Amino acid sequence: MSVSADHWIGGERVASPQRFTDLSPIDEQPIAEISRGGAREAAQAVAAARKAFPAWARTSKEERARLLHAIADGVDKRADELANVETRDNGALLRSHLRGVMPRVAHNFRFFADWLLGLGHDDFETRGHTNHVSWDPAGVCALITPWNAPLMLATWKIAPALAAGNTVVLKPAEWSPLTASILADITAEAGLPDGVFNVVQGFGAEAGAALVDNPDISRISFTGSVPTARLIGAAAARHLTPVSLELGGKSPLLVMRDADLDLAVDLAVEQYDNAGQVCLACTRLLVAEEVAGEFTERLVERIKALRQGDPRDLATDIGPQIHRKQFDKIDGFVQRAVAEGARAVAGGGPNAELGGLYYRPTLFTEPSKELLREEVFGPVLTLQTFSSEEQAVAMANDTSYGLDALVVTTSEERARRLTPQLVAGTVWVNCFFVRDLRAPFGGSRDSGIGREGGNWSFDFYCDVKNTVSAPWVR
Ligand code: ADP
């Protein structure tokens, strides 16, 4: 693999004296020795981004859009390599990387390039005075991203930040650092000026913490866990830096008594995608008691038929968990639930024949309190029944999170009645994971602060300005 293991700062590779080992979840073997950045590298990257900012902010939006399209072309050209490296690095399915993820990565750049060109300006008039509203670039953006969908989530932030005329310092997750490094090469090949995009590798508590505590940062966008979000929020508060937080979930999937059960089972099985390491996963299945027996039986059959194995095999449905720590955390949740009397009707433990990090897709009926409350971030679903719509809504909202909710029903009227009552940034009705990038994305309650997507992204990554002009008199 010819991926640089060093930082990308000011258009150059920068190495740190200390390194950390990047392991592949497929076999827990080392794949790279990555430069371990800290305060020094974070400061260096912010300085480079700051230096590059004035010229990039002045670059015409047509030229910025052209460069973003050139980056997208570079992603398309190297999509196979990116997909293979990402699978080796984070263990997610090669099939998904090839078919869904890498095309979406390129699309993130194209979408925000085109959005920039189409961005209108509001003008208001009061007593002959015009109020001209403009979207000014904010400055240097610190982007902190997780390991479950590394390049997809990073580019979802990088593309609007750059489109808006900002410069960027990205700190990818230490468990999946590689594709960000390839992206740095792609941006250089595309002709992005030095310092406009920078990557600092390293641990969250070192490189990440130093980055978000830098007073020259104008925006922080973070996707990750709630405890880390609280630390980042505290750093942002010290400098009054606007922050966008996209966090976890414990989302409900409601199967109403009139649901199409084939569809309901398909949608429930999708919640095991990426071995359950998806913030949007609707892991609490809430099923009308009239259909619960049949639904459970069919679902268990489907879970047992899932093909678990090497994520590079295109026939595999479910691969390994990302890391030993995450694997042990998941197993801890499962073992404590079993000890409390929860019943696993599918899975319930490791699939050790395949390797160290493969966990069987698991379904609990009569789940423990902890399982219902805490985000597992693994292939573990719970199933509970309800006897009325009112109870379904109460159970759905009985969580500290509010990222998304999924309703399966054949009644449009029921859907219209239910969806406004659900606390969630996204409500899916008879579908999952299909979203227009013009629409807002984000969470309520502990699932986050702010929304990104379309104008919501520009709102966040720009300083919105109102220029009021008196009438011009000759
Ligand atoms: P997880 O626990 O699932 O790994 P985290 O929220 O800890 O999720 O990690 C998401 C991203 O946040 C990673 O890039 C990680 O390095 C980074 N991170 C972790 N701790 C901090 C911190 N204190 N400050 C800034 N970034 C951090």
The ligand 1 atom at the shortest distance from the C-alpha of residue 172 is: 14
* Dihedral pair phi/psi, residue 221, rounded to 5°: -120, 125
3-state secondary structure of 457: helix
Question: Mind giving me the DSSP string for 184-212?
Answer: HHHHHHHTPPTTSEEE--S-IIIIIHHHH
Write down the pTM of the prediction.
Answer: 0.97
SS3 164: coil
Count of the separate structural domains present in the chain? 2
Distance, CA of 442 to CA of 447 (rounded, Å): 8
Below-70 pLDDT ranges, the chain? 1, 474
User: Residue 1: what pLDDT?
Assistant: 62
Residue nearest to atom 15 of ligand 1 (CA): 204
Q: Give me the CATH number covering residue 230.
A: 3.40.605.10
Judge if 459 and 405 occupy the same domain.
no
Whether the CB of 253 sits within 6 Å of ligand 1: no
Task: Give the tens place of pLDDT for each residue, 182-235.
Answer: 999 999 999 999 999 999 999 999 999 999 999 999 999 999 999 999 999 999
Same domain, 278 and 241: no
Residue 281 sits in the same domain as residue 225: no
Residues written for the chain: 474
Residues 17-49 pLDDT 10s: 999 999 999 999 999 999 999 999 999 999 999
Q: How far, in Å, from the CA of 127 to the mean position of ligand 1?
A: 51
Alpha helices in 369-432 (DSSP H): 369-373, 389-396, 412-418
Return the number of other C-beta atoms located less than 10 Å from residue 341's C-beta. Answer: 9
**DSSP notation for 275-340:** GG--TT---EEEEEHHHHHHHHHHHHHHHHH--BS-TTSTT-SB---S-HHHHHHHHHHHHHHHHT
Would 438 be classed as within a structural domain? no
CA of residue 18 to ligand 1 center, whole Å: 19
- Considering the domain architecture, whether residues 176 and 296 belong to the same structural domain is answered as no
Catalytic residues: 246, 279
Confirm whether 434 is domain-assigned. Answer: no
H or E element that contains 445? strand 444-445
- Residue 437 belongs to a domain: no
Residue 359 domain-assigned (yes or no)? yes
Return the CATH number at 397: 3.40.309.10
- Same domain? 279 vs 222: no
**C-beta 174 within 6 A of ligand 1:** yes
- Do the domain assignments include residue 31? yes
CA atoms within 13 A on the CB side of 264: 28
Q: Which atom of ligand 1 is nearest to the CA of 227?
A: 6
Residue 40 Cα to ligand 1 midpoint, Å, equals 18
The secondary structure of the chain in percent helix, strand, coil, rounded to multiples of 5, reads 45, 25, 35
Q: Which residues contact 179 (CB under 8 A, 6 or more apart)?
A: 82, 85, 86, 89, 150, 151, 172
Per DSSP, 441 falls in state: B
Q: Mark whether 333 and 369 lie in a shared domain.
A: yes
pLDDT digits (tens, 9 = 90+) for 317-333: 999 999 999 999 999 99
68 within domain boundaries: yes
- Do 236 and 312 have their domain in common? no
Note whether 200 and 7 are within 8 A (CB).
Answer: yes
Do 393 and 453 lie in one domain? The reply is no
- Residue 145 CB–ligand 1 contact under 6 Å: yes
Domain extent for 267: 252-429
Q: Between the CA of residue 172 and those of 94, 144, 169, 184, 215, what are the distances in Å?
A: 20, 6, 10, 12, 20
Atom of ligand 1 nearest to the CA of 174: 16
Contacts of 6 (CB under 8 A, 6+ apart): 13, 14, 15, 16, 35, 181, 201
Domain membership of residue 324 (yes or no) is yes
- Residues 91 and 321: beta-carbon distance below 8 Å: yes
Question: What's residue 474's pLDDT?
Answer: 64
Same domain, 394 and 463: no
Distance 171 CA to ligand 1 centre (A): 9
Q: Are residues 221 and 335 in the same domain?
A: no
Q: Are 39 and 206 in contact (CB under 8 A)?
A: yes
pLDDT of the residue at 2: 84
Residue 384 inside a domain? The answer is yes
Q: Which two three-digit tokens encode residue 413?
A: 């009227």
Contact between 152 and 109 (Cβ < 8 Å): no
259 shares a domain with 243: no
Residue 128 shares a structural domain with residue 257: no
Indicate if ligand 1 lies below 6 Å from the C-beta of 265. no
